[in-house]
């Protein structure tokens, strides 16, 4: 269900026009019409249209547009934090709407929307000895770390096919017909793939609606594209986007393309750089609630997180991330390149301390949990916390925060004991201004790590309710011998930090 795309397919005249003219900018309204009702009655669309289309805008088709009465259109476009709306009044002396699946050559309208996208990282795999980029399948033969050359070449070809889907992520093609609205770009499965790759949607358009009806001298269309059907984006706030409006005319038959007019004579099918550019006077800020984290997280993207993007919403609920994920012992590439990592922006309120709210949620690095201190709805500071919050205690002048993480001696699990479990803990204080401070001095900070040839199991936390003292118990396994293992720390009020203890652990008081 795609309109005939590239002008070059319809003869050299249209091909020359397409590549000789830069797409003109569009200036849509920056607010949806008051009391917008998608019903085909365009009464709420007052004022001049955003663009007009006629014979001079024809980019394809076997039949030349003869006059404004033969085929022309006035089109209004509006955009706001609630989505995009579109309306058109089409003069057409012979209306032939789609029949069943025959859409692309029949009378209908299309809207393309493209937001600033995230670049894909290079095709590469990463193991314990670093990253290995491939520019072609042939480089599998010269890469010294590859053990299975045919498998490497097959992997490379698979990643190229995957990217045909991933590159569609940041654009949408909406078709408007009397049957309603459908999407024919991001939801389409490219050749060689079984379904669209996330984060492309498998279906559309539950958040949108469209009406196409006959009029006295042609037909009219009206549509609203809801936030849930818009593509994700990287720009925060949104100031730049690209749009195309296409209208198709079928006077004699819907079996072959007759006339195709577009707002961009430079258009190339699915190529956002040939769409009409839009620069918003009032950039759109979608935010996460109840705390405006999105700006902070998208700013962190500039420090090494170039593959990060977010999905429009009120509130924004999810980030996405393209990255090449390391994996140990990959002597032949096996991990997808890139992987798509979804990141939920959900926040859990942990505690209130004075006028500071303490939340748990996503950190500034992908997949890293964190504490956020918030005052009057504004983030003050972020603290990575590992995997588990062991305890939060009110110590009067500050909250004490004990967190832990169970990991591996080597993040990739490589080496003699690379997969042996390691438990790390951190304890911090959050003061009344929302600032975090580490409470173990550098020389006394302890990581519960393994002795050579030994590891811990059945680890558990125990401590006083106010965290004046805490500890960990476990079983140490070494040379098939299991022995009790424990550590404990107590608050030293004189030195204002925790001091490691050497005596037997105190009773658990959970």
Q: Which pLDDT tens digit goes with each residue over 425-462?
A: 889 999 999 999 998 754 443 445 545 567 777 888 88
Q: 357 and 272 in one domain?
A: no
Q: How many Å apart are CA 141 and CA 150, to the nearest integer?
A: 9
Examine residue 275 and state whether it is found in any structural domain, yes or no.
yes
| Residue 280: per-residue pLDDT | 98
| Residue 502: per-residue pLDDT | 59
Domain end call among 283, 304, 319: 283
Written as six digits, the tokens of 232 are 């994700």
Sign of CA dihedral 42, 48, 50, 56: positive
Examine residue 430 and state whether it is found in any structural domain, yes or no.
yes
Examine residue 77 and state whether it is found in any structural domain, yes or no.
yes
| Residue 301: per-residue pLDDT | 62
Q: 112 and 234 in one domain?
A: yes
**Domain containing 471: what range?**
347-501
| Residue 277: per-residue pLDDT | 98
Sign of CA dihedral 181, 187, 189, 190: positive
Q: 197 and 55 in one domain?
A: yes
Q: How many Å apart are CA 482 and CA 500, to the nearest integer?
A: 24
Q: 313 and 434 in one domain?
A: no
Residues 6+ apart with CB under 8 A from 255: 102, 105
Examine residue 509 and state whether it is found in any structural domain, yes or no.
no
| Residue 456: per-residue pLDDT | 74
Q: What is the CATH number of the domain that holds 219?
A: 2.60.40.1190
In our burial notation (b when 16+ CB lie closer than 10 A, e otherwise), range 446-468 reads eebebeeebbbeeeebbbeeebe
| Residue 510: per-residue pLDDT | 28
Domain end call among 283, 298, 322: 283
Examine residue 506 and state whether it is found in any structural domain, yes or no.
no
Per-residue pLDDT tens over the stretch 116-126: 999 999 999 99
Written as six digits, the tokens of 18 are 């397409």
| Residue 16: per-residue pLDDT | 34
For residue 14, the SS3 value is: helix
Q: 245 and 134 in one domain?
A: no
Domain end call among 283, 305, 335: 283
| Residue 305: per-residue pLDDT | 56
Q: How many Å apart are CA 464 and CA 399, to the nearest integer?
A: 14
Q: 227 and 294 in one domain?
A: no
User: Rounded to 10 degrees, what is the CA torsion of 164, 166, 172, 177?
Assistant: 60
Q: 210 and 137 in one domain?
A: no
| Residue 472: per-residue pLDDT | 85
| Residue 3: per-residue pLDDT | 39
Q: 248 and 108 in one domain?
A: yes
Examine residue 230 and state whether it is found in any structural domain, yes or no.
yes
Model confidence, pTM: 0.87
Terminal CA-CA length for the chain: 62
Q: 125 and 107 in one domain?
A: no
Q: How many Å apart are CA 471 and CA 467, to the nearest integer?
A: 10
Q: 300 and 438 in one domain?
A: no
| Residue 171: per-residue pLDDT | 97
Q: 189 and 55 in one domain?
A: yes
**For the chain, which residues score pLDDT lower than 50?**
1-19, 442-447, 450, 503-510
Maximum separation of any 2 CA atoms in the chain, in Å: 96
Examine residue 507 and state whether it is found in any structural domain, yes or no.
no
For residue 405, the SS3 value is: strand
Per-residue pLDDT tens over the stretch 343-385: 899 899 999 999 999 999 998 876 789 999 999 999 999 999 8
Q: 353 and 469 in one domain?
A: yes
Q: How many Å apart are CA 237 and CA 115, to the nearest integer?
A: 12
Examine residue 2 and state whether it is found in any structural domain, yes or no.
no
Domain count, the chain: 3
């Amino acid at each position: 269900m795609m309109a005939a795309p590239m002008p070059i397919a319809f003869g050299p005249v249209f091909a020359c026009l397409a590549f000789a003219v830069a797409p003109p900018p569009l200036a849509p309204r920056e607010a949806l019409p008051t009391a917008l009702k998608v019903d085909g009655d365009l009464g709420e669309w007052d004022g001049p249209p955003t663009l007009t289309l006629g014979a001079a805008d024809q980019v394809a088709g076997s039949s030349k547009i003869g006059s404004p009465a033969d085929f022309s259109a006035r089109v209004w476009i509006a955009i706001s934090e609630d989505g995009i709306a579109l309306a058109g009044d089409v003069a057409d002396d012979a209306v032939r709407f789609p029949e069943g699946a025959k859409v692309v050559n029949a009378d209908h309208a299309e809207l393309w929307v493209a937001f600033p996208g995230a670049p894909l990282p290079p095709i590469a795999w990463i193991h314990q000895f670093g990253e290995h980029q491939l520019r072609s399948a042939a480089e599998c033969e010269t890469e010294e770390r590859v053990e299975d050359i045919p498998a490497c070449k097959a992997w490379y070809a698979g990643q190229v096919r995957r990217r045909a889907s991933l590159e569609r992520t940041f654009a949408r093609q909406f078709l408007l017909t009397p049957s309603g609205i459908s999407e024919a770009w991001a939801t389409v499965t490219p050749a060689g793939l079984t379904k669209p790759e996330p984060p492309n949607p498998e279906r559309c358009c539950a958040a949108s609606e469209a009406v196409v009806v006959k009029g006295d001298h042609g037909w009219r269309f009206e549509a609203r594209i809801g936030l849930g059907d818009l593509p994700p984006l990287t720009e925060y706030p949104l100031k730049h986007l690209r749009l195309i409006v296409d209208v198709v005319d079928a006077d004699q038959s819907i079996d072959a393309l007759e006339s195709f007019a577009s707002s961009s004579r430079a258009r190339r099918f699915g190529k956002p750089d040939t769409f009409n550019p839009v620069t918003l006077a009032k950039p759109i800020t979608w935010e996460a609630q109840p705390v405006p984290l999105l700006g902070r997280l998208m700013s962190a993207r500039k420090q090494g997180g170039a593959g990060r993007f977010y999905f429009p919403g009120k509130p924004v609920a999810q980030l996405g991330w393209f990255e090449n994920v390391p994996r140990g012992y990959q002597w032949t590439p096996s991990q997808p390149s890139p992987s798509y990592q979804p990141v939920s922006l959900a926040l859990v309120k942990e505690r209130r301390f004075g006028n500071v709210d303490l939340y748990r949620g996503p950190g500034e690095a992908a997949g890293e949990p964190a504490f956020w201190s918030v005052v009057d709805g504004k983030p003050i500071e972020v603290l990575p916390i590992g995997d588990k919050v062991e305890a939060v205690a009110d110590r009067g002048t500050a909250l004490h925060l004990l967190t832990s993480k169970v990991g591996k001696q080597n993040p990739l699990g490589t080496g003699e004991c690379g997969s042996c479990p390691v438990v790390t803990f951190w304890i911090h204080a959050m003061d009344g201004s929302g600032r975090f401070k580490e409470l173990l001095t550098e020389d006394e900070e302890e990581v519960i790590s393994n002795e050579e040839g030994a590891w811990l199991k059945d680890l558990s936390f125990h401590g006083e309710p106010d965290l004046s003292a805490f500890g960990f118990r476990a079983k140490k396994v070494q040379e098939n011998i299991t022995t009790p293992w424990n550590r404990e720390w107590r608050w030293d009020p004189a030195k204002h930090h925790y001091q490691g203890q050497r005596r037997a652990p105190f009773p658990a008081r959970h």
